[in-house]
């Protein structure tokens, strides 16, 4: 599907293996997740518009570059918070929004409980952070909410994606590109990714 970019990097593959391993301790899980988030931010940054500027080194004047538009990062609570530190370190002048969506374990559909974003989304490149793209319901709902606030340049950053989730985003939001570290095999009968890594939020925050 032409809306999907899968990272192809040996270090990312190594770190995905750390995340999958049920024996990986919380601090190791967080560090691996952070490193993958760095890699995702670098890949997404290839789409940024740049402006040439002049700077003066200790020796002479030369040409440099700056990002030529506003960046807004929107983590989907709670698990999306685990990706924020890496993205904000790479893009420190970005603005931040938050979307709280909770999956109903019976219907597998997202339920909104919090939504706060900057007012100038129509002028911004918006990056939605959501570690697990499973059914795609939460991510699609988040994109719906952002478009209702006039966001028109959106991308989605995920650690692990299921084909079902990718297909749903492509169907609901064909204009949104998905950046993921790995595309997994399928969902199980209760909507969890296989082989997956369990619940990213629980493993990050120690709430197993």
- Model pLDDT for residues 33-47, shown as the tens digit of each residue: 999 999 999 999 999
Q: What is the pLDDT of residues 171-187, one digit of tens each?
A: 999 999 999 999 999 99
Residue 17: predicted pLDDT: 95
Bridge-based pairing of strands 70-77 and 95-96 is parallel
Structural domain boundaries enclosing 96? 4-48+67-205
Token pair listed for 135: 């059914």
* 59 lies in some domain: no
CATH number at residue 39: 3.40.50.2020
Token readout for 142 is: 């988040």
In a domain, 27, yes or no: yes
Residue 57, domain member (yes or no): no
List of long-range contacts for 108-117, beta carbons under 8 Å, 24+ apart: 108/135, 108/137, 108/190, 108/191, 109/137, 110/137, 110/138, 110/141, 110/142, 112/141, 112/145, 114/77, 115/145, 117/72, 117/74, 117/146, 117/149
Does residue 53 sit within a domain?
Answer: no
For residue 129, pLDDT over 70 is answered with: yes
Question: Has residue 62 been placed in a domain?
Answer: no
Domain contains 183: yes
Q: What are 127's strand-pairing partners?
A: 73, 155
pLDDT for 208:
66
pLDDT tens digits for range 71-104: 999 999 888 899 999 999 999 999 999 999 776 7
Residue 55 lies in a domain: no
- Is the pLDDT confidence value at 108 over 70? no
Predicted local confidence at residue 207, as pLDDT: 77
Our count of domains for the chain comes to 1
Residue 61 lies in a domain: no
Percent of the chain with pLDDT over 90: 76
């Amino acid at each position: 599907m032409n809306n999907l970019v899968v990272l192809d990097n040996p270090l990312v593959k190594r770190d995905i293996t750390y995340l999958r391993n049920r024996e990986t301790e919380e601090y190791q899980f967080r560090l691996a997740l952070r490193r993958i988030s760095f890699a995702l931010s670098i890949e997404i940054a290839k789409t940024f518009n740049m402006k040439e500027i002049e700077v003066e080194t200790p020796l002479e004047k030369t040409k440099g570059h700056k990002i030529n538009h506003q960046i807004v990062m929107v983590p989907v609570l709670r698990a999306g918070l685990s990706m924020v530190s890496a993205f904000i370190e790479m893009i420190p002048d970005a603005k931040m929004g938050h979307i709280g969506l909770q999956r109903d374990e019976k219907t597998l559909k997202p339920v909104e409980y919090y939504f706060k974003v900057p007012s100038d989304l129509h002028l911004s490149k918006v990056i939605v952070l959501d570690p697990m793209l499973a059914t795609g319901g939460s991510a699609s709902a988040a994109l719906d909410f952002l478009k209702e606030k006039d966001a028109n340049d959106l991308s989605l950053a995920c650690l692990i994606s299921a084909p079902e989730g990718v297909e749903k985003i492509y169907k609901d939001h064909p204009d949104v590109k998905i950046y993921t570290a790995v595309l997994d095999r399928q969902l199980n009968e209760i909507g969890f990714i296989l082989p997956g890594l369990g619940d990213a939020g629980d493993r990050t925050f120690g709430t197993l």
